[in-house]
């Protein structure tokens, strides 16, 4: 008699190759119709599963883990892992893994897509054209902000922040300043042509501010009313990190009052809901959390999550473990 294969839950619709690879080792429960399960349904489906392929939104906390005694690993296909309560996962002996590196360059590209679209008023002017309002050229029509040669302030100087800095310095001839929990070593600063600044100094002197800091209790509302007030009135704010890093209500007000010139946002507090005031101000470019969305990058992100599941469950080795203490037997 064949021993039953260990069981895996795949929480959302995903590439068929993911299901195929996992099925070589496990009995897989997929979600091909991409139904959005609520927490009770997720919990129900996690029963008897040793692994979960997750997309970064499924909250793994003590309450849920206590009811999933078979679970050994939850593998995010995202670099962000604010859906994980890592101490609770470690206490329950559950490994968490994420998907760093493979999305760095694609996400950095999108930072520039948002910065350029916002500075040069791409979506605002397109709406104007589509509405049939373009009847003649004029010298100041949709005049925007310079990107090349300006000063970019990057808050959060991890892998993605550094990739943005390189584009800014070497591609657009920008002066790059950054703020980070810890200062980078001199060689990394030189490779990015970036210099360290205090948060307040950065907010006051940057022409454009880009947020690439991971979400945590400490980074909640990194940018609120006071920070917006200390930025230049001509400044542009870009958030491609996580909802909650910016106080969206304060930002909408700052955009309406022209405390800052404009914003480009890919992430929102409480997404996929968007603060209604952000939908009515013209000086904001809004995209639906797509910074890593190219087929090659999403495939690489998903493949890394699969590598983690197969590696850990068949050989006890994960590629990108987050709470490595689970790997060492106590
Ligand atoms: C994901 C991301 O697509 O990797 C991350 O942390 O933010 C994106 O690349 C997104 O999290 C999907 O929920």
- Banded pLDDT at 328 (limits 50, 70, 90): confident
Atom of ligand 1 nearest to the CA of 77: 4
Nearest CA to ligand 1 atom 1: 78
pLDDT of residue 273: 97
What order do you get walking across the sheet with 7-10 strand by strand? 27-29, 7-10, 51-54, 73-76, 95-97
Nearest CA to ligand 1 atom 2: 78
- Banded pLDDT at 274 (limits 50, 70, 90): very high
If one residue of 14, 34, 79 were mutated to test the ligand 1 pocket, choosing by the most ligand atoms within 8 A of its CB, it would be 79
Q: 102: Cβ–Cβ under 8 A, 6 or more apart, which residues?
A: 297, 300, 301, 303, 304
If one residue of 102, 272, 292 were mutated to test the ligand 1 pocket, choosing by the most ligand atoms within 8 A of its CB, it would be 292
Per residue in 15-62, pLDDT (tens digit) is 999 999 999 999 999 999 999 999 999 999 999 999 999 999 999 999
Per residue in 105-120, pLDDT (tens digit) is 999 999 999 999 999 9
Query: Which residues, judged by CB distance below 6 Å to any ligand atom, belong to the binding site of ligand 1?
Result: 55-57, 78-80, 103, 289, 291-292
Q: pTM value? A: 0.96
Please give the sequence-ordered ranges of beta strands (E in DSSP) within the chain, or none if there are none: 7-10, 27-29, 51-54, 73-76, 95-97, 151-155, 175-179, 194-196, 208-211, 236-239, 262-265, 284-286
* Ligand 1 geometric centre to CA of 79 (Å): 6
What is the CA angle 273-278-282, rounded to 5?
A: 140
Average pLDDT of the residues in 155-176: 98
| Model confidence at 276: pLDDT above 70 | yes
* Ligand 1 geometric centre to CA of 136 (Å): 41
| Model confidence at 295: pLDDT above 60 | yes
| Model confidence at 1: pLDDT above 70 | no
pLDDT of residue 329: 63
Provide the annotated active-site residues: 242, 271, 289
Three-class secondary structure of residue 238 per DSSP: strand
Q: What are the structural domains, with CATH classification, of the chain?
A: 7-102+295-326 (3.40.50.720), 104-286 (3.40.50.720)
pLDDT of residue 2: 75
Taking the C-alpha atoms of residue 207 and residue 24, their distance in angstroms, rounded to an integer, is 52
If one residue of 291, 295, 300, 302 were mutated to test the ligand 1 pocket, choosing by the most ligand atoms within 8 A of its CB, it would be 291
| Model confidence at 138: pLDDT above 80 | yes
- Banded pLDDT at 3 (limits 50, 70, 90): confident
CA distances from 231 to 45, 223, 242, 262 (A): 47, 10, 20, 11
* Ligand 1 geometric centre to CA of 76 (Å): 9
* Ligand 1 geometric centre to CA of 57 (Å): 9
Nearest CA to ligand 1 atom 10: 78
Q: 109: Cβ–Cβ under 8 A, 6 or more apart, which residues?
A: 167
pLDDT of residue 330: 53
């Amino acid at each position: 008699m064949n021993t039953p294969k260990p069981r895996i839950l795949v929480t959302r619709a995903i590439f068929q190759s993911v299901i195929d690879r996992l099925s070589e080792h496990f009995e897989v429960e997929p979600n091909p119709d991409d139904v959005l399960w609520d927490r009770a349904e997720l919990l129900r489906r996690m029963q008897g599963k040793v692994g979960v392929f997750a997309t970064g939104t499924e909250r793994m906390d003590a309450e849920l883990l206590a009811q999933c005694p078979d679970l050994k690993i939850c593998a995010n296909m995202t670099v962000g892992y604010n859906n994980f309560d890592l101490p609770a996962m470690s206490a329950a002996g559950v490994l968490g893994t994420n998907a760093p590196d493979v999305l760095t360059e694609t996400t950095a590209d999108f930072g520039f897509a948002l910065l350029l679209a916002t500075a040069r008023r791409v979506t605002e002017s397109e709406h104007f054209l589509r509405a049939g309002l373009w009847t003649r050229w004029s010298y100041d029509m949709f005049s925007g902000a310079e990107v090349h040669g300006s000063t970019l302030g990057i808050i959060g100087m991890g892998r993605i922040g550094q990739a943005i800095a390189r584009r800014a310095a070497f591609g657009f001839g920008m002066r790059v300043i950054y703020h980070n929990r810890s200062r980078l070593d001199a060689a990394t600063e030189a490779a990015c042509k970036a210099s360290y600044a205090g948060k307040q100094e950065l907010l006051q002197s940057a022409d454009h501010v880009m947020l690439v800091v991971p979400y945590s209790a400490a980074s909640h509302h990194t940018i609120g009313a006071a920070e917006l007030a200390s930025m230049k009135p001509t400044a542009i704010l870009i958030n491609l990190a996580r909802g909650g890093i910016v106080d969206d209500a304060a930002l909408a007000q700052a955009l309406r009052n022209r405390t800052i010139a404009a914003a480009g946002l890919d992430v929102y507090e409480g997404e996929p809901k968007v603060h209604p005031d952000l939908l009515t101000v013209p000086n904001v470019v809004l995209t639906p959390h797509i910074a890593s969305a190219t087929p090659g990058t999403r495939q690489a992100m998903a493949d890394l999550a699969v590598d983690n599941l197969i590696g850990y469950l068949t050989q006890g080795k994960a590629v990108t473990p987050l709470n490595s203490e689970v790997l060492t037997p106590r």
